[in-house]
Amino acid sequence: MLVVNFLLLAAVLFCIGVYGVIARRNAVLVLMSIELILNSVNLNFIAFSLMHGNIDGQVFALYVIAVAAAEVGVGLAMVLMIYRNRKSIALDELSEMKG
Amino acid sequence: MTALLLAIDDLNVAQNVAFGIIALLMIVAALRVVTTNNIVHAALWLVIVLAGVAAQYILAAAEFVAISQVLVYIGAVMVLFLFGIMLTRAQIGKESGLNNKGWALGIPVALLLLGLMGYVIIDAYEDTVLPDRGPVPTEAISDQFLSIYLLPFIALSFVLLAAAIGAIVLARKD
Amino acid sequence: MLAAETLVSGWFLENAWLIGLIPALGFAVIIMFGKHLPMKGAEVGIGSMAASLVISTGAAYQWVQRTDAADSHGEEAAGLISGFARSLAPHAAEGGHAPEPFVEPVVTTWVWWQNSGLEFGIGSSVDGLAVLMLWLVAFITLLIQIYSVAYVRGDRRYTHFFASLTLFAAGMLVMVMAENMVQLILGWEIMGLCSFLLIGHWWEDEANSRAALKAFFTVRVGDIGLLVGVAIIFFGSNQWAVDNLDSNGFNIAAIQAWALSGDPSATNWVLIAGAAALFVAAIGKSGQFPLHTWLPDAMAGPTPVSALLHSSTMVVAGVFLVARVYPVFWQGFNIDDGGLSFIAIIGGITIIVGALLAFVQDDIKKVLAYSTVSQLGYMMLALGTGAWLAAVFHIFTHAFFKSCLFLAAGSVSHSGSHHSFDMKKDMGGLRKPMPVTFAVWIVSTLALTGVFPFAGFWSKDEIIDNVGHHGYTFLFWVGLIGAAMTAMYMTRATYLTFFGEPRGAAAGEHHEDEEHAEEHEMETLTVGAHVKTLSAAANIGNGGVGAGDDGGLSDDGGSGDEPHAADGDDHGNDAGSDHHDDRGPHESEMLILVPIVILAFFALFSGFTNATPLGEDWERVKTYVEPRAAEVPIDEYLASGPGESLTLVIPNAEEGEGEDESHGEEAGAESHAAGGCGFETPEPGTACFFPSLTHAEPTISKIFLSLGVVAAAYAVAIAFNVMYYGRRNKRLFGLTERSRSLRGGYLFLKNKYYLDALYENVIVHAVAHPIANAVYWFNQHVLDATVDKVGEGTKRTGIWMYDNIDQKIIDGAVDGSGQVASEAGHALQPTQSGKVSQYGALLFGAAAVFAIVLVIVNVS
C-alpha cells in the first residue's frame, strides 16, 4: 500500500473539516468539524508510524485522542453556557468581539 | 497516477480495495457532516467517519489505537456531542440556516488547501511504499508510555482531570 | 678717569615705592572693612599716612646723606685731578670751587609692560624733588586726616571720605615718584578721580555735583594736552633714548637728557609742540588762566579736601610736571634766551587775575581759592623765567601756609559761624571767642603775604628776585603788585572774619536756612527770638544804606549763581552734632587745633630751609633738591642699576660757571652763563639732565623794596577796611552804586570776567549741542531704525513660517498621517467581525497562502 493513500485521505478530511468550521453556524457542528480535523491528523500520524516502523506515531495519536476528548468536554460546556446566556448557539450572532 | 496503478498491480489488492471502500465511505460521510441540515444526522454521519477512521487504523496495523478510537471517540465523545445537542434544544429534525452567511467563502479556502496539500504530498511521497508489518503489540505502546513518555502521560492525566473539573465548573448552574 | 664708585644708597631710598603702595593698600582696606572698624576707617587712613611719612622721612634723610657723600667725593676727585683737567680743558673753570657732581636718582622698578622692544616699568625714582614732594604730601595728608576725624564726624559717608583721601594720597605719591611718564599719568588720573569724588562728597546737593563735574571736565581738557604731549615727546625722543641710554621715550630721565642733547631729533618743533601740550595739562591741573574757573567751584567740597587737594598738593601737580620735565620746557620755550616765554606770560596773567577776583568774594574759602590761583601763578612765573628752585621752594612753603589757612577757615566755620563760610553774613569779631584759630590765621596770612621772617618771605621774594635777575623787569613789577594785592585782599578777609561786630551766626544767632529750620525748632531759642533774629539780620542788611545791594552785608555768597553750595558744610551731618552751636562761637576742639598749629609752626619756620639771603649754608633745598647741571658720562650712567649710582668723575670743565658765588657783589644780576648744560650741547658720550641755571643774589635793597611794598599795601588795606566795613564811611559806601565805571568793574569781577558764561554758554553750548543733536538723530533714525527693521523683518518671517510651513506642511503631514492610519483602520475593520467562522476562514486562508509561498520558494 502506498502511504500516499493515507495522506491524501487525511488531506481530504482535513479540508472538509476546514470547510465545516468556516461554513457551519451551529457551535456544536463547528466542534464536530474540528473533530474531523483532529482525526485527519491522527491518520497522518499512524501512516507515518507505519512508514517509519516507529511506534512514536501511535503513541502520539493516542495522545491526540485523549486531548481531543478533553477538549470536546470543555468545549461543549462552553457551548452550554453560551446557550444559557443567549438562548441560541448560532455563532454568527456571537460577535461581541466585533470591531 | 502511475504509481497508483503500479501499487494496485504490485501490492496487496485486498488491502487496497478495503482501503478504497472505507475511504470513499469516510469522505461521503464527512461531506454529509458539513452539509446536512439536521444536526442529529450530522452527529450520526460523524460516527460513521470515526468508525471509518478506526478501520483505517486497523489496516495500518495500529490495533490498540483503533480500539481506543472506537471506545473514546465514538463511545464517549459522540455521546457527549449528542448530549450537547440535546441540552441546547436543537430542533430534532430539519432546520434551515445551519450555514453561515459567508459559507461560500469556505469552498475556495478548502479547495486551495486541498490543492496545496495534495501537490505537496504527491510530490514528496509519490513512490513510498508502506512496509508490511504485523500488528503492533500493545505492550510495546505501554512500554513507551511508561518509560520514555512517562511525563507526558502523567501530564495528560492532569489535562483530563482539569478538563473534567473545568467542564463541571463551567456548566454548573449557579 | 677715576674708577667709578657707587653712591651711598639706603633701604628707604630703594624701597620708596612703599610710600605709594601703603596708602593704596590702606584705601583697599578702608573700602572693604572700614565700616566695621571702631573708628570707621579713619585709623587705617591715618596709620597708612603715618607709615608713608616715616618712610619718606627716612628717604629724605638718606638722600641728604647721598648728596653729601657725592659732594665730598666730587670734591676729592676734583681736587685730585683739577690741575690735570684744567690743563686739558680749553675753558678752565673760573671760580675755583668744586664742581658739583650729578647725584643720580635711586630707581627701583618692576617691568609693567613689555612688547616688541618697548618696555616701561612701575616703581620709584627718588631724587631731591621727589623726596621733597613725597615728604610734603605725606605730612600734610596725615595732618589733614587727623583734622578730618573731628571735622567730618557724623558724616553719612565718613568711611568713603577717608578712603578717597587715602587714595588721593596714594595717587599723588605714585605720580611724584614716577620714573616714567606712564606712571606719572597714572598718578595724575587717580588724583583727578579723587578730586571728583571728594568735591562731590555731598552730591545730594546738585550744586556740589555740578562743581565736581566742572572741575573734572576742565582738568580733562588739560589732560588732552598731557596725553598728546607725552606722545609727541615719546616719538621724538625714543630713538635717541634707545640708542644712547638703553632706555625709551617714556623714561623721564631719558626725556630730560634728550631735550638737552641737541640731537637732531630734538627739533624745535617737536620740543615746542611737546612743551606746549604738556603745559596745557599744567594749565588745567594747576588752575592757570584760562582754565582756572574750576578751582573756586571746587570749594563746594568739604574744607579738608580744599586744604589738601586744592591748595597744597593736587593743584601743584601741574607745577610739578613742569619742574620734573623741565629741560623740555627749557628748550621748547627758549627760557634760556631771556625772551618772554609762554609759561611766564600765563603765570603773570594768573597772578593778577586771581588776585583781583579775591577782592570781591564774600565766601572765605573762595578768597583762599583765588589766592591759591594767584600763588600758582607765581610758581609758573618762576618756572617760566628760569627760577626753578624758587618755584619748588614756593611749592614747599605755600603748602604749609595755604593748607593752614584753609583748615583755619574750616575751624572758623565748624565752631564759629555755624557751618557757614559767608564772611559778610555770619562772621565778624571772631578773634575773641577763637583766639588760637585767630593766631594761626594771622601767622599764615603773614607767611602768605611775605613778611619777614615768615616762610612766604623767603620763597615768594626769591621768585620775584629771580624774575628780576633774569631780566624780566615788567614781570618783576607784576610780581610786586601781586604781592601788594595779596596783602590787601587777605587784610579784607581777616578783617571781615575776625574783627568788627559779630554778624549772623557769629553773633550766636542761627542763620535762617530752610534746611536747618526743623532742626532748630528744638533748640533753646524761642520762636520770638527767631523773629528777633530775622529782623536783626534785616536791619543789619539795610542799615545805613538805601536799597544798595552791593553795599549791604547780606549779600548772597561771592558767587552769584550758585546757591548755598558754600555754606552748609554740615549738610552731611546726620548725627546733628551741631547742638553745641547754640552756645555761640567758641574755640574748636583739640583734634582740629593741633594740626593747624603744627602747620602754622611750619609756616613760620619752613622758610629757613632755604634762606638764601642768609648765606649759602642756609640753602638746604637748593643743595639737596635742585638737580645738578652736570654732564654725566653716559657709559657710567648706564651701568648703574637700581639703587646704584656712579659719581661723576670727570668734572665738566664748562659747567659751574653759572654757580654764582661771588660774595659781596652788588646788583647781583650775573650775566648769563656762557656755557654749560642747557646752553650748549653736551660732549659726545655724555648727557645733561638739567640745565645750568643762575640764581639771583639777594641784596638788602631788593629786600627792602619788597618789604616796603607789602607794608604799604597793608597800611592802605587796613585803613580802607576800617573805614569801609568798620565805620561805614559815607563816601566809600555805595561807591559802585554811584559810579558807572566802578560799577562796571565790580560786575566784571563779580562775574569772574564772564569766563564761565563764555565757557558754558558759548563754547560748550555751541559744541556740545550740535554734536548731541546729531548723535541723537543718528541714534533715532539710523540705529533704532535698523533695529526696528530687523525686528519687523524677523516678525514677518516668523508669521510666514507659521502660516505656510508650520500650519500647512508640517501640520498637514502630521494630520495626514493620522488620517491615513484612521482610514486604514476603517478599511480593515470588517475583518474584525467578531465571528469565529470568519476568523477561521482567514486563518486557514492565510496559512494556505503562506504555505504556497513556502512551497514555491523551495521548489523553484
Interchain contact, B110 vs A22, CB within 8 Å: yes
CB pairs under 8 A between A and B: 256
CA–CA separation, C308 vs C144, rounded Å?
7
Between the alpha carbon of residue C547 and those of residues B144, C541, C550, C736, C737, the distances in Å are 149, 10, 9, 13, 10
CA–CA separation, C687 vs C99, rounded Å?
16
Give alpha helix (H) positions in B96-149.
Answer: 106-125, 138-147
pLDDT at B47 over 60: yes
- φ, ψ of residue C750 in degrees (nearest 5): -60, -40
How do the domains of chain C map onto residue ranges? 386-511+584-630
pLDDT at C83 over 70: no
Residues of A in contact with C844 (CB under 8 A): 18, 21-22
CA–CA separation, C649 vs C80, rounded Å?
11
Q: What is the predicted pLDDT for the residue at C670?
A: 35
CA–CA separation, C843 vs B171, rounded Å?
29
pLDDT at A28 over 60: yes
- Residue B145 near chain A (CB below 8 Å): yes
B-contacting chains (≥3 CB pairs under 8 Å): A, C
Between the alpha carbon of residue B63 and those of residues B66, B109, B137, C414, the distances in Å are 5, 34, 8, 140
Helix (H) or strand (E) holding C125: strand C118-126
Between the alpha carbon of residue B102 and those of residues A24, C141, C195, C603, C841, the distances in Å are 9, 117, 108, 132, 10
pLDDT at C101 over 80: no
Q: What is the predicted pLDDT for the residue at C643?
A: 43
The closest CB to that of B114, out of A15, A22, A69, belongs to A15
Interchain contact, C844 vs A18, CB within 8 Å: yes
Amino acid (1-letter code) at residue C323 = A
Residues of C in contact with A99 (CB under 8 A): 829, 832, 834
Closest CA to B4 of B129, B132, B131: B129
C-contacting chains (≥3 CB pairs under 8 Å): A, B
pLDDT at C733 over 70: no
The closest CB to that of C837, out of A21, A97, A99, belongs to A21
Interchain contact, C834 vs A91, CB within 8 Å: no
Give alpha helix (H) positions in C732-807.
Answer: 735-738, 740-750, 755-757, 765-777, 784-800
Interchain contact, A26 vs B90, CB within 8 Å: yes
The closest CB to that of A58, out of B15, B72, B136, belongs to B136
pLDDT at C243 over 50: yes
Residues C244, C634 contacting (CB under 8 angstroms) = yes
Tell me the average pLDDT across C105-120: 83
Interchain contact, A76 vs B98, CB within 8 Å: no
Mutation for testing the B interface, residue in A21, A52, A56, A76 having most B CBs under 10 Å: A76
Q: How far is A97 from chain B (nearest CA, A)?
A: 17
Residues of C in contact with A96 (CB under 8 A): 834
Interchain contact, C837 vs A98, CB within 8 Å: no
Between the alpha carbon of residue A83 and those of residues C7, C682, C772, the distances in Å are 131, 137, 101
High-pLDDT (> 90) share of chain C, %: 29
Helix (H, G, I), strand (E, B) or coil at C64: helix
- Residue B82 near chain A (CB below 8 Å): no
Q: C395 is written with which cell numbers? A: 611749592
Domain that holds residue A79: 3-93
Report if residue A30 sits inside a domain.
Answer: yes
Interchain contact, C855 vs B116, CB within 8 Å: yes
Closest CA to C682 of C652, C660, C649, C646: C652
Gap between the terminal Cα atoms of chain C? 120
| C 816-845 near B (Cβ less than 8 A) | 835, 837-838, 841, 844-845
At A66-82, the pLDDT tens digits run: 999 999 999 999 999 98
Tell me the average pLDDT across C686-699: 78
Residues of C in contact with A21 (CB under 8 A): 837, 840, 844
Most confident of C466-480, C500-514, C550-564: C466-480
Q: What is the predicted pLDDT for the residue at B104?
A: 86
The closest CB to that of B113, out of C835, C837, C844, belongs to C844
CA–CA separation, C225 vs C121, rounded Å?
23
Residues of C in contact with B100 (CB under 8 A): 835, 837
CA–CA separation, C624 vs C64, rounded Å?
6
- φ, ψ of residue C676 in degrees (nearest 5): 100, 175
Q: What is the predicted pLDDT for the residue at C37?
A: 87
Give C759's DSSP letter: I
The closest CB to that of C837, out of A91, A96, A98, belongs to A91
Q: What is the predicted pLDDT for the residue at A30?
A: 93
Q: How far is A31 from chain C (nearest CA, A)?
A: 12
Residues of B in contact with A46 (CB under 8 A): 56-57, 60, 62, 65
Tell me the average pLDDT across A46-63: 93
pLDDT at C772 over 50: yes
Q: What is the predicted pLDDT for the residue at C582?
A: 58
Tell me the average pLDDT across C29-54: 90
Q: Which residue of chain B is at minimal alpha-carbon distance from A84?
A: B88
pLDDT bin (cut points 50, 70, 90) of residue A32 is: very high
- Residue B119 near chain A (CB below 8 Å): no
Residues C208, C565 contacting (CB under 8 angstroms) = yes
| B 24-53 near A (Cβ less than 8 A) | 26-27, 30-31, 33-34, 39, 42-43, 46, 49-50, 53
The closest CB to that of C848, out of B102, B105, B112, belongs to B112
Interchain contact, B109 vs C844, CB within 8 Å: yes
Q: Helix C700-721 and helix C473-498: axis angle, to 10°?
A: 40
Interchain contact, C848 vs B109, CB within 8 Å: yes
Interchain contact, C845 vs B119, CB within 8 Å: no
Between the alpha carbon of residue C664 and those of residues C92, C195, C698, C699, C718, the distances in Å are 23, 48, 10, 9, 38
pLDDT at C444 over 70: yes
Where on the phi/psi map is residue C544: left (φ > 0), alpha (ψ -120 to 50), or beta?
Answer: left
Between the alpha carbon of residue C112 and those of residues C121, C180, C183, C230, C714, the distances in Å are 4, 11, 10, 18, 54
- Residue C848 near chain B (CB below 8 Å): yes
Higher pLDDT, C619 or C318: C318
Residues of A in contact with B111 (CB under 8 A): 15
Q: Which residue of chain B is at minimal alpha-carbon distance from C838?
A: B102
CB pairs under 8 A between B and C: 27
The closest CB to that of C845, out of B109, B119, B120, belongs to B109
Mutation for testing the B interface, residue in C836, C839, C852 having most B CBs under 10 Å: C852
Tell me the average pLDDT across B128-147: 86
How do the domains of chain B map onto residue ranges? 2-94+105-135, 137-174
CA–CA separation, C172 vs C315, rounded Å?
11
Residues of B in contact with C856 (CB under 8 A): none
Interchain contact, A58 vs B31, CB within 8 Å: no
Q: What is the predicted pLDDT for the residue at C557?
A: 37
pLDDT bin (cut points 50, 70, 90) of residue B88 is: confident
The closest CB to that of A28, out of B15, B39, B121, belongs to B39
Q: What is the predicted pLDDT for the residue at B46?
A: 96
CATH number reported for the structural domain that contains residue A31 in this entry: 1.10.287.3510
Tell me the average pLDDT across C71-98: 51
CATH number of B2-94+105-135: 1.20.120.1200
Interchain contact, A30 vs C837, CB within 8 Å: yes
At C579-616, the pLDDT tens digits run: 455 567 888 888 888 999 999 998 888 888 888 777 77
CA–CA separation, A17 vs B71, rounded Å?
22
The least confident of B49-58, C53-62, C507-516 is: C507-516
Closest CA to B12 of B52, B60, B54, B50: B60
Q: How far is B33 from chain A (nearest CA, A)?
A: 8
Tell me the average pLDDT across C110-136: 87
Q: Number of folded domains in chain A?
A: 1
Mutation for testing the A interface, residue in B132, B170, B173, B174 having most A CBs under 10 Å: B170
CB environment C337-350: b (16+ within 10 A), e (fewer): eeebbbbbbbbbbb
- Residue B106 near chain C (CB below 8 Å): yes
Closest CA to C440 of C410, C470, C482, C461: C410
Q: What is the predicted pLDDT for the residue at C574?
A: 43
Interchain contact, B149 vs A59, CB within 8 Å: yes
Q: What is the predicted pLDDT for the residue at C513?
A: 46
**CA C565, chain centre distance (Å):** 21
Between the alpha carbon of residue C2 and those of residues C72, C77, C81, C636, C644, the distances in Å are 15, 8, 9, 11, 17
pLDDT at C570 over 50: no
| CA dihedral of residues C371, C372, C374, C380 (deg, nearest 10) | 170
pLDDT at C523 over 50: no
